[in-house]
A = this chain, B = another copy of it.
Amino acid sequence: MFKKILIANRGEIAVRIIKACQEMGISSVAVYSEVDRESLHVQLASEAVCIGPAPAIESYLNIDKIIQASRQAGAEAIHPGYGFLAENSEFARSCEKEKLVFIGPNSKALALVGDKIRSRQTMEKAGVPIIPGMKNIPKDLSEYKQAAQKIGYPVMIKASAGGGGKGMRIVDNPKDLKSYLEAGQREAKSAFGDESVYLEKYIEEPRHIEFQVLADNYGNIVHLFERECSIQRRHQKIVEETPSQALDLKLRTLMGETAKKVMQVSGYNNAGTVEFLLDKNKNFYFLEVNARLQVEHPVTELTTGVDLVHQQILIASGEKLSFKQEELFQRGHSIECRIYAEDPVNNFLPSSGRVTFLKEPKGPGVRHDCGIYSGCDVPIYYDPILAKLIVWAENRENACQRIVNALDDYVVLGINTTISFLKEVINHPQFRKGKTTTSFIKMYFDKWEGKKKTEENLRLALIASAFDSFNKTYTGKSAGPAQKEIFSPWLSLGKWRLGGGK
Protein backbone atom coordinates (compact mmCIF):
# COMPACT_ATOMS: atom_id res chain seq x y z
CA MET A 1 0.00 0.00 0.00
CA PHE A 2 1.08 3.57 -0.65
CA LYS A 3 2.55 5.61 2.18
CA LYS A 4 1.87 9.00 0.64
CA ILE A 5 -0.56 10.25 -2.02
CA LEU A 6 -0.73 13.67 -3.64
CA ILE A 7 -4.22 14.97 -4.41
CA ALA A 8 -4.15 17.08 -7.57
CA ASN A 9 -7.41 18.86 -6.92
CA ARG A 10 -9.26 21.26 -4.60
CA GLY A 11 -12.69 21.73 -3.02
CA GLU A 12 -15.04 19.02 -1.82
CA ILE A 13 -13.49 16.21 -3.83
CA ALA A 14 -9.98 16.88 -2.49
CA VAL A 15 -11.45 16.79 1.02
CA ARG A 16 -13.24 13.51 0.24
CA ILE A 17 -10.01 11.90 -0.97
CA ILE A 18 -7.95 13.20 1.96
CA LYS A 19 -10.50 11.60 4.34
CA ALA A 20 -10.08 8.28 2.56
CA CYS A 21 -6.28 8.54 2.84
CA GLN A 22 -6.53 9.25 6.56
CA GLU A 23 -8.73 6.19 7.05
CA MET A 24 -6.29 4.03 5.14
CA GLY A 25 -3.29 5.30 7.11
CA ILE A 26 -1.85 7.09 4.07
CA SER A 27 -0.23 10.53 4.25
CA SER A 28 -1.93 13.07 2.01
CA VAL A 29 -0.32 15.95 0.14
CA ALA A 30 -2.56 18.83 -0.92
CA VAL A 31 -1.59 21.20 -3.71
CA TYR A 32 -3.01 24.70 -3.80
CA SER A 33 -3.03 27.86 -5.85
CA GLU A 34 -2.24 31.18 -4.25
CA VAL A 35 -5.92 32.01 -3.59
CA ASP A 36 -6.48 28.64 -1.95
CA ARG A 37 -4.11 28.97 1.02
CA GLU A 38 -7.09 28.97 3.42
CA SER A 39 -9.08 26.28 1.60
CA LEU A 40 -10.38 23.27 3.46
CA HIS A 41 -8.22 20.76 1.57
CA VAL A 42 -5.06 22.62 2.61
CA GLN A 43 -6.14 22.55 6.25
CA LEU A 44 -6.97 18.84 6.25
CA ALA A 45 -4.06 17.30 4.35
CA SER A 46 -0.92 16.11 6.12
CA GLU A 47 1.16 18.29 3.81
CA ALA A 48 0.47 21.16 1.44
CA VAL A 49 2.43 22.59 -1.48
CA CYS A 50 1.67 25.86 -3.26
CA ILE A 51 1.79 25.29 -7.03
CA GLY A 52 1.19 28.72 -8.47
CA PRO A 53 -1.19 31.58 -9.18
CA ALA A 54 -4.97 31.39 -9.10
CA PRO A 55 -5.80 30.66 -12.76
CA ALA A 56 -6.10 26.87 -13.09
CA ILE A 57 -3.88 26.85 -16.15
CA GLU A 58 -1.01 28.12 -13.99
CA SER A 59 -1.67 25.80 -11.04
CA TYR A 60 -4.17 22.92 -10.96
CA LEU A 61 -3.73 22.30 -14.70
CA ASN A 62 0.04 22.70 -14.63
CA ILE A 63 1.41 19.17 -15.10
CA ASP A 64 5.05 20.07 -14.43
CA LYS A 65 4.28 21.86 -11.18
CA ILE A 66 2.21 18.96 -9.91
CA ILE A 67 4.79 16.34 -10.82
CA GLN A 68 7.43 18.50 -9.16
CA ALA A 69 5.34 18.86 -6.00
CA SER A 70 4.93 15.07 -5.87
CA ARG A 71 8.67 14.54 -6.16
CA GLN A 72 9.38 17.21 -3.56
CA ALA A 73 6.95 15.66 -1.07
CA GLY A 74 7.96 12.10 -1.85
CA ALA A 75 4.47 10.99 -2.89
CA GLU A 76 4.17 7.58 -4.56
CA ALA A 77 0.83 8.17 -6.23
CA ILE A 78 -1.41 10.98 -7.46
CA HIS A 79 -5.19 11.09 -7.16
CA PRO A 80 -6.56 13.55 -9.71
CA GLY A 81 -10.15 13.77 -8.39
CA TYR A 82 -12.57 14.93 -11.11
CA GLY A 83 -12.13 17.83 -13.53
CA PHE A 84 -8.74 19.53 -13.97
CA LEU A 85 -6.25 16.83 -15.05
CA ALA A 86 -8.39 13.80 -14.14
CA GLU A 87 -8.93 12.70 -17.73
CA ASN A 88 -5.78 14.13 -19.26
CA SER A 89 -3.86 11.21 -20.77
CA GLU A 90 -0.73 13.33 -21.14
CA PHE A 91 -0.77 13.80 -17.37
CA ALA A 92 -1.27 10.06 -16.84
CA ARG A 93 1.67 9.40 -19.20
CA SER A 94 3.85 11.91 -17.38
CA CYS A 95 3.06 10.18 -14.09
CA GLU A 96 3.93 6.79 -15.59
CA LYS A 97 7.20 8.18 -16.92
CA GLU A 98 8.05 9.60 -13.49
CA LYS A 99 7.19 6.29 -11.80
CA LEU A 100 4.31 7.94 -9.97
CA VAL A 101 1.14 5.85 -9.83
CA PHE A 102 -1.74 7.71 -11.46
CA ILE A 103 -4.87 6.71 -9.51
CA GLY A 104 -7.07 6.17 -12.52
CA PRO A 105 -6.96 4.15 -15.71
CA ASN A 106 -3.71 3.46 -17.59
CA SER A 107 -2.81 6.23 -20.01
CA LYS A 108 -3.57 4.12 -23.08
CA ALA A 109 -7.12 3.31 -22.01
CA LEU A 110 -7.53 6.92 -20.86
CA ALA A 111 -6.45 8.19 -24.29
CA LEU A 112 -8.85 5.80 -26.00
CA VAL A 113 -11.97 6.55 -23.94
CA GLY A 114 -10.97 10.22 -23.76
CA ASP A 115 -11.06 10.41 -27.53
CA LYS A 116 -14.81 10.37 -27.93
CA ILE A 117 -14.54 9.67 -31.66
CA ARG A 118 -12.16 6.71 -31.38
CA SER A 119 -14.06 5.24 -28.47
CA ARG A 120 -17.30 5.45 -30.44
CA GLN A 121 -15.63 3.51 -33.23
CA THR A 122 -14.32 0.90 -30.81
CA MET A 123 -17.74 0.46 -29.22
CA GLU A 124 -19.50 0.24 -32.55
CA LYS A 125 -17.13 -2.56 -33.55
CA ALA A 126 -17.73 -4.38 -30.27
CA GLY A 127 -21.47 -4.29 -30.86
CA VAL A 128 -22.30 -1.70 -28.21
CA PRO A 129 -25.24 0.50 -29.31
CA ILE A 130 -24.12 4.09 -30.03
CA ILE A 131 -25.76 7.40 -30.94
CA PRO A 132 -25.43 8.37 -34.61
CA GLY A 133 -22.70 10.99 -34.93
CA MET A 134 -19.33 12.09 -36.35
CA LYS A 135 -16.53 9.61 -36.62
CA ASN A 136 -13.73 12.20 -36.56
CA ILE A 137 -12.84 15.78 -35.56
CA PRO A 138 -13.28 18.03 -38.63
CA LYS A 139 -10.74 20.59 -39.77
CA ASP A 140 -13.12 23.36 -40.65
CA LEU A 141 -16.63 24.66 -40.35
CA SER A 142 -17.84 23.27 -43.65
CA GLU A 143 -17.17 19.72 -42.50
CA TYR A 144 -19.14 20.38 -39.32
CA LYS A 145 -21.96 21.78 -41.46
CA GLN A 146 -22.05 18.73 -43.68
CA ALA A 147 -21.98 16.35 -40.77
CA ALA A 148 -24.78 18.19 -38.99
CA GLN A 149 -26.87 18.01 -42.13
CA LYS A 150 -26.25 14.30 -42.44
CA ILE A 151 -27.00 13.50 -38.78
CA GLY A 152 -30.04 15.79 -38.89
CA TYR A 153 -30.84 18.67 -36.53
CA PRO A 154 -31.05 18.97 -33.55
CA VAL A 155 -27.41 18.06 -33.10
CA MET A 156 -25.27 18.15 -29.98
CA ILE A 157 -21.80 19.73 -29.81
CA LYS A 158 -19.58 17.82 -27.41
CA ALA A 159 -16.02 18.27 -26.21
CA SER A 160 -13.80 15.40 -27.19
CA ALA A 161 -11.56 15.72 -24.16
CA GLY A 162 -14.04 15.79 -21.27
CA GLY A 163 -17.53 15.85 -19.90
CA GLY A 164 -19.40 17.71 -17.20
CA GLY A 165 -21.37 19.81 -19.68
CA LYS A 166 -18.32 21.89 -20.53
CA GLY A 167 -18.22 22.81 -24.22
CA MET A 168 -21.62 21.22 -24.76
CA ARG A 169 -24.32 22.92 -26.84
CA ILE A 170 -27.53 21.82 -28.55
CA VAL A 171 -27.96 23.26 -32.03
CA ASP A 172 -31.56 23.30 -33.26
CA ASN A 173 -30.96 25.62 -36.16
CA PRO A 174 -28.16 25.59 -38.80
CA LYS A 175 -27.61 29.35 -38.41
CA ASP A 176 -26.45 28.91 -34.80
CA LEU A 177 -23.89 26.24 -35.64
CA LYS A 178 -20.91 28.56 -36.11
CA SER A 179 -21.25 30.65 -32.95
CA TYR A 180 -22.13 27.62 -30.83
CA LEU A 181 -19.11 25.73 -32.14
CA GLU A 182 -16.84 28.66 -31.26
CA ALA A 183 -18.26 28.93 -27.77
CA GLY A 184 -17.99 25.17 -27.29
CA GLN A 185 -14.39 25.19 -28.44
CA ARG A 186 -13.48 28.04 -26.13
CA GLU A 187 -15.10 26.33 -23.16
CA ALA A 188 -13.46 23.01 -24.02
CA LYS A 189 -10.08 24.72 -24.28
CA SER A 190 -10.47 26.47 -20.96
CA ALA A 191 -11.80 23.40 -19.18
CA PHE A 192 -9.61 20.66 -20.63
CA GLY A 193 -6.80 22.42 -22.51
CA ASP A 194 -8.07 20.84 -25.75
CA GLU A 195 -10.54 22.61 -28.01
CA SER A 196 -11.66 19.56 -30.03
CA VAL A 197 -15.44 19.24 -30.32
CA TYR A 198 -17.62 16.93 -32.39
CA LEU A 199 -21.28 16.50 -33.26
CA GLU A 200 -23.79 13.79 -32.56
CA LYS A 201 -27.52 13.27 -32.90
CA TYR A 202 -29.43 14.92 -30.09
CA ILE A 203 -31.83 12.42 -28.58
CA GLU A 204 -34.90 14.19 -27.27
CA GLU A 205 -36.20 13.70 -23.75
CA PRO A 206 -33.99 10.78 -22.88
CA ARG A 207 -32.99 9.65 -19.42
CA HIS A 208 -29.30 9.80 -18.56
CA ILE A 209 -28.34 6.45 -17.04
CA GLU A 210 -24.78 5.60 -16.16
CA PHE A 211 -23.12 2.52 -14.71
CA GLN A 212 -20.30 2.59 -12.18
CA VAL A 213 -17.56 0.10 -13.00
CA LEU A 214 -14.51 -1.08 -11.07
CA ALA A 215 -11.74 -2.95 -12.88
CA ASP A 216 -8.56 -4.16 -11.20
CA ASN A 217 -5.17 -4.53 -12.93
CA TYR A 218 -5.78 -8.25 -13.52
CA GLY A 219 -8.80 -8.17 -15.78
CA ASN A 220 -11.47 -8.53 -13.09
CA ILE A 221 -14.39 -6.20 -13.76
CA VAL A 222 -17.59 -5.56 -11.80
CA HIS A 223 -20.33 -3.00 -12.19
CA LEU A 224 -21.95 -1.35 -9.17
CA PHE A 225 -25.30 -0.69 -10.80
CA GLU A 226 -26.70 2.47 -12.27
CA ARG A 227 -27.08 6.10 -11.39
CA GLU A 228 -29.78 8.17 -13.01
CA CYS A 229 -28.59 11.71 -13.70
CA SER A 230 -31.39 13.03 -15.89
CA ILE A 231 -31.92 16.23 -13.90
CA GLN A 232 -29.55 18.56 -15.72
CA ARG A 233 -29.24 22.25 -16.40
CA ARG A 234 -27.01 23.47 -19.22
CA HIS A 235 -25.99 19.78 -19.62
CA GLN A 236 -24.67 19.84 -16.09
CA LYS A 237 -26.06 17.23 -13.72
CA ILE A 238 -27.64 18.72 -10.63
CA VAL A 239 -29.60 15.85 -9.06
CA GLU A 240 -28.57 12.20 -9.23
CA GLU A 241 -30.11 9.08 -7.79
CA THR A 242 -30.01 5.33 -7.66
CA PRO A 243 -31.78 3.03 -8.36
CA SER A 244 -33.30 4.53 -11.50
CA GLN A 245 -37.09 4.34 -11.72
CA ALA A 246 -36.75 3.38 -15.40
CA LEU A 247 -34.84 0.11 -15.03
CA ASP A 248 -36.13 -3.30 -14.17
CA LEU A 249 -33.92 -6.22 -13.23
CA LYS A 250 -33.59 -7.40 -16.83
CA LEU A 251 -32.62 -4.03 -18.31
CA ARG A 252 -30.33 -3.29 -15.34
CA THR A 253 -28.48 -6.56 -15.91
CA LEU A 254 -28.22 -6.02 -19.66
CA MET A 255 -26.90 -2.46 -19.32
CA GLY A 256 -24.53 -3.47 -16.53
CA GLU A 257 -23.06 -6.25 -18.61
CA THR A 258 -22.75 -3.85 -21.56
CA ALA A 259 -20.90 -1.38 -19.34
CA LYS A 260 -18.45 -4.10 -18.33
CA LYS A 261 -17.95 -4.97 -22.00
CA VAL A 262 -17.19 -1.30 -22.79
CA MET A 263 -14.47 -1.31 -20.15
CA GLN A 264 -13.12 -4.63 -21.28
CA VAL A 265 -12.70 -3.63 -24.93
CA SER A 266 -11.09 -0.36 -23.79
CA GLY A 267 -8.45 -2.17 -21.72
CA TYR A 268 -9.69 -0.10 -18.79
CA ASN A 269 -8.61 -0.37 -15.16
CA ASN A 270 -9.55 1.41 -11.91
CA ALA A 271 -12.90 3.18 -11.39
CA GLY A 272 -14.86 4.47 -14.35
CA THR A 273 -18.38 5.22 -15.44
CA VAL A 274 -20.12 4.21 -18.63
CA GLU A 275 -22.75 6.73 -19.64
CA PHE A 276 -25.84 5.79 -21.63
CA LEU A 277 -28.88 7.59 -22.90
CA LEU A 278 -32.13 5.69 -22.48
CA ASP A 279 -34.88 6.72 -24.87
CA LYS A 280 -38.65 6.56 -24.35
CA ASN A 281 -38.79 3.05 -25.73
CA LYS A 282 -36.09 1.81 -23.33
CA ASN A 283 -33.44 1.62 -26.04
CA PHE A 284 -30.08 2.58 -24.62
CA TYR A 285 -27.10 4.14 -26.41
CA PHE A 286 -23.50 4.31 -25.27
CA LEU A 287 -22.55 7.95 -24.74
CA GLU A 288 -19.06 7.95 -23.34
CA VAL A 289 -16.81 6.71 -20.59
CA ASN A 290 -16.08 9.06 -17.71
CA ALA A 291 -12.59 7.91 -16.84
CA ARG A 292 -12.52 9.23 -13.31
CA LEU A 293 -14.29 9.32 -9.99
CA GLN A 294 -17.67 10.99 -10.64
CA VAL A 295 -19.13 13.86 -8.66
CA GLU A 296 -22.15 11.62 -8.03
CA HIS A 297 -20.20 8.58 -6.78
CA PRO A 298 -21.68 8.78 -3.24
CA VAL A 299 -25.14 7.53 -4.26
CA THR A 300 -23.48 4.31 -5.40
CA GLU A 301 -21.50 4.10 -2.17
CA LEU A 302 -24.57 4.50 0.00
CA THR A 303 -26.63 1.85 -1.79
CA THR A 304 -23.92 -0.76 -2.45
CA GLY A 305 -21.84 -0.24 0.70
CA VAL A 306 -18.64 -0.03 -1.36
CA ASP A 307 -16.30 2.93 -0.76
CA LEU A 308 -15.22 3.89 -4.27
CA VAL A 309 -12.26 6.05 -3.27
CA HIS A 310 -10.87 3.28 -1.08
CA GLN A 311 -11.33 0.91 -4.01
CA GLN A 312 -9.55 3.29 -6.40
CA ILE A 313 -6.56 3.44 -4.09
CA LEU A 314 -6.55 -0.32 -3.47
CA ILE A 315 -6.72 -1.07 -7.19
CA ALA A 316 -3.99 1.47 -8.04
CA SER A 317 -1.73 -0.09 -5.43
CA GLY A 318 -2.06 -3.43 -7.17
CA GLU A 319 -4.75 -5.15 -5.08
CA LYS A 320 -7.21 -7.53 -6.65
CA LEU A 321 -10.92 -6.80 -6.38
CA SER A 322 -12.08 -8.38 -3.12
CA PHE A 323 -15.65 -9.04 -4.26
CA LYS A 324 -17.42 -10.60 -7.22
CA GLN A 325 -20.36 -9.34 -9.25
CA GLU A 326 -22.79 -11.73 -7.57
CA GLU A 327 -21.85 -10.44 -4.11
CA LEU A 328 -22.94 -6.90 -4.98
CA PHE A 329 -26.48 -5.66 -4.42
CA GLN A 330 -28.33 -2.39 -3.96
CA ARG A 331 -30.08 -1.54 -0.71
CA GLY A 332 -32.57 1.31 -0.33
CA HIS A 333 -32.44 4.53 -2.30
CA SER A 334 -29.97 7.39 -2.50
CA ILE A 335 -30.28 10.91 -3.93
CA GLU A 336 -27.60 13.56 -4.39
CA CYS A 337 -28.08 17.30 -4.89
CA ARG A 338 -25.16 19.38 -6.11
CA ILE A 339 -24.83 22.70 -4.36
CA TYR A 340 -23.53 25.31 -6.80
CA ALA A 341 -22.50 28.91 -6.15
CA GLU A 342 -25.08 30.23 -8.57
CA ASP A 343 -28.09 32.48 -8.34
CA PRO A 344 -31.11 30.37 -9.34
CA VAL A 345 -33.42 33.39 -9.66
CA ASN A 346 -30.98 35.34 -11.81
CA ASN A 347 -30.22 33.00 -14.70
CA PHE A 348 -27.85 30.94 -12.54
CA LEU A 349 -25.19 33.63 -12.58
CA PRO A 350 -22.06 32.43 -10.81
CA SER A 351 -21.74 33.82 -7.29
CA SER A 352 -18.29 34.22 -5.81
CA GLY A 353 -17.23 35.98 -2.62
CA ARG A 354 -17.30 35.37 1.09
CA VAL A 355 -19.47 32.75 2.76
CA THR A 356 -20.40 34.79 5.81
CA PHE A 357 -22.21 31.88 7.43
CA LEU A 358 -22.60 28.17 6.77
CA LYS A 359 -24.90 25.74 8.56
CA GLU A 360 -24.24 22.23 7.28
CA PRO A 361 -27.23 19.92 7.07
CA LYS A 362 -26.99 16.78 9.16
CA GLY A 363 -28.94 13.89 10.60
CA PRO A 364 -29.40 10.14 10.17
CA GLY A 365 -28.98 9.16 6.54
CA VAL A 366 -27.58 12.56 5.57
CA ARG A 367 -24.09 12.92 4.09
CA HIS A 368 -22.57 16.28 3.22
CA ASP A 369 -19.39 16.29 1.12
CA CYS A 370 -18.32 19.88 1.47
CA GLY A 371 -15.48 22.13 0.37
CA ILE A 372 -16.49 25.35 2.14
CA TYR A 373 -16.83 26.69 5.68
CA SER A 374 -18.16 29.73 7.55
CA GLY A 375 -15.91 32.62 6.59
CA CYS A 376 -14.26 31.10 3.52
CA ASP A 377 -13.91 32.88 0.20
CA VAL A 378 -15.25 31.30 -2.98
CA PRO A 379 -12.92 32.38 -5.81
CA ILE A 380 -14.02 33.14 -9.38
CA TYR A 381 -11.46 30.85 -10.93
CA TYR A 382 -12.88 27.41 -10.47
CA ASP A 383 -15.95 25.28 -10.90
CA PRO A 384 -18.94 26.66 -8.94
CA ILE A 385 -19.57 23.39 -7.09
CA LEU A 386 -19.42 24.06 -3.35
CA ALA A 387 -20.67 20.83 -1.87
CA LYS A 388 -22.87 17.82 -2.39
CA LEU A 389 -25.78 16.79 -0.24
CA ILE A 390 -26.48 13.07 -0.35
CA VAL A 391 -29.13 11.09 1.49
CA TRP A 392 -29.92 7.44 1.91
CA ALA A 393 -33.28 6.03 2.95
CA GLU A 394 -35.23 2.78 2.80
CA ASN A 395 -37.08 3.83 -0.34
CA ARG A 396 -37.36 6.66 -2.85
CA GLU A 397 -40.24 8.41 -1.13
CA ASN A 398 -38.39 8.58 2.19
CA ALA A 399 -35.21 9.66 0.42
CA CYS A 400 -37.10 12.56 -1.19
CA GLN A 401 -38.54 13.60 2.17
CA ARG A 402 -35.16 13.34 3.80
CA ILE A 403 -33.32 15.43 1.23
CA VAL A 404 -35.99 18.14 1.24
CA ASN A 405 -35.69 18.22 4.99
CA ALA A 406 -31.91 18.40 4.79
CA LEU A 407 -32.12 21.24 2.23
CA ASP A 408 -34.30 23.11 4.74
CA ASP A 409 -31.61 22.48 7.35
CA TYR A 410 -28.92 23.95 5.06
CA VAL A 411 -27.97 27.60 5.29
CA VAL A 412 -25.39 29.48 3.23
CA LEU A 413 -25.29 33.25 3.73
CA GLY A 414 -23.19 35.79 1.81
CA ILE A 415 -23.28 34.16 -1.63
CA ASN A 416 -26.07 32.73 -3.73
CA THR A 417 -26.57 28.99 -4.01
CA THR A 418 -28.93 26.56 -5.69
CA ILE A 419 -30.31 25.21 -2.41
CA SER A 420 -33.81 26.68 -2.72
CA PHE A 421 -34.02 25.67 -6.38
CA LEU A 422 -33.07 22.07 -5.64
CA LYS A 423 -35.80 21.83 -3.04
CA GLU A 424 -38.39 22.84 -5.61
CA VAL A 425 -36.99 20.30 -8.07
CA ILE A 426 -37.30 17.44 -5.57
CA ASN A 427 -40.76 18.63 -4.54
CA HIS A 428 -42.02 18.74 -8.14
CA PRO A 429 -44.84 16.21 -8.66
CA GLN A 430 -43.19 14.84 -11.82
CA PHE A 431 -39.95 14.24 -9.93
CA ARG A 432 -41.87 12.54 -7.13
CA LYS A 433 -43.45 10.29 -9.73
CA GLY A 434 -40.01 9.42 -11.09
CA LYS A 435 -40.82 11.03 -14.45
CA THR A 436 -37.35 12.37 -15.01
CA THR A 437 -35.77 13.16 -18.39
CA THR A 438 -32.91 15.42 -19.38
CA SER A 439 -35.54 18.00 -20.42
CA PHE A 440 -37.01 18.12 -16.93
CA ILE A 441 -35.49 21.46 -15.89
CA LYS A 442 -36.22 23.10 -19.23
CA MET A 443 -39.80 21.85 -19.14
CA TYR A 444 -40.71 22.76 -15.59
CA PHE A 445 -38.19 25.33 -14.39
CA ASP A 446 -37.33 27.42 -17.42
CA LYS A 447 -38.65 30.67 -16.00
CA TRP A 448 -38.34 29.88 -12.33
CA GLU A 449 -38.44 33.01 -10.24
CA GLY A 450 -37.99 31.57 -6.80
CA LYS A 451 -40.56 30.57 -4.28
CA LYS A 452 -42.93 33.20 -2.95
CA LYS A 453 -41.97 34.31 0.53
CA THR A 454 -44.54 33.92 3.26
CA GLU A 455 -45.82 36.84 5.32
CA GLU A 456 -44.97 35.03 8.55
CA ASN A 457 -41.36 34.43 7.62
CA LEU A 458 -40.96 38.04 6.53
CA ARG A 459 -42.23 39.13 9.94
CA LEU A 460 -39.77 36.81 11.67
CA ALA A 461 -36.92 38.13 9.53
CA LEU A 462 -37.83 41.65 10.60
CA ILE A 463 -38.01 40.65 14.26
CA ALA A 464 -34.57 39.03 14.00
CA SER A 465 -33.16 42.13 12.28
CA ALA A 466 -34.61 44.37 14.94
CA PHE A 467 -33.30 42.11 17.71
CA ASP A 468 -29.83 42.16 16.16
CA SER A 469 -29.95 45.96 15.88
CA PHE A 470 -31.26 46.17 19.44
CA ASN A 471 -28.23 44.27 20.69
CA LYS A 472 -25.90 46.30 18.52
CA THR A 473 -27.23 49.48 20.09
CA TYR A 474 -26.76 48.19 23.61
CA THR A 475 -23.53 46.23 23.36
CA GLY A 476 -21.87 47.44 20.18
CA LYS A 477 -21.86 43.85 18.93
CA SER A 478 -23.99 42.06 16.40
CA ALA A 479 -24.12 39.34 13.79
CA GLY A 480 -21.61 41.01 11.56
CA PRO A 481 -19.44 41.94 9.81
CA ALA A 482 -18.25 38.41 9.12
CA GLN A 483 -15.90 37.72 11.99
CA LYS A 484 -13.04 36.64 9.82
CA GLU A 485 -12.73 40.14 8.44
CA ILE A 486 -11.00 41.01 11.65
CA PHE A 487 -8.14 38.67 11.00
CA SER A 488 -7.77 38.41 7.29
CA PRO A 489 -5.54 41.16 5.96
CA TRP A 490 -7.08 40.99 2.52
CA LEU A 491 -10.30 40.21 0.74
CA SER A 492 -10.41 37.95 -2.27
CA LEU A 493 -11.16 40.92 -4.43
CA GLY A 494 -8.26 42.97 -3.13
CA LYS A 495 -5.93 40.72 -5.05
CA TRP A 496 -7.59 41.29 -8.39
CA ARG A 497 -6.46 43.62 -11.05
CA LEU A 498 -9.46 45.88 -11.42
CA GLY A 499 -10.43 47.60 -14.67
CA GLY A 500 -8.22 49.03 -17.46
CA GLY A 501 -5.18 47.55 -19.25
CA LYS A 502 -3.53 44.15 -18.91
Contacts and interface: CB of A to CB of B under 8 A. Distances in A.
Contact of A367 (B19, B332, B364): B364
Contact of A364 (B301, B365, B394, B402): B301
Q: How large is the interface on A (under 10, 10 to 19, 20 to 34, 35 or more residues)?
A: 35 or more
Interface in A460-500: 471, 475, 477, 483, 486-487
B307 A401 contact: no
B23 A307 contact: no
A317 interface: no
A42 to B, nearest CB: 16
A398 interface: yes
A76 interface: no
A368 interface: yes
A401 B23 contact: yes
A290 to B, nearest CB: 20
A388 to B, nearest CB: 11
A26 to B, nearest CB: 11
A24 B362 contact: no
A19 B363 contact: yes
A108 interface: no
A298 interface: yes
Contacts of A471: 487
A368 B364 contact: no
A413 interface: no
Interface in A388-414: 393-394, 398, 401-402, 405, 408
B364 A25 contact: no
Nearest to A404: B23
A94 to B, nearest CB: 30
Contacts of A305: 331-332, 394
3 nearest CB pairs, A to B: A19-B363, A477-B486, A23-B401
Given A22-B408, A307-B393, A475-B487, 10 more contacts: A19-B405, A20-B364, A23-B401, A307-B394, A307-B398, A364-B367, A364-B369, A471-B487, A477-B486, A483-B483
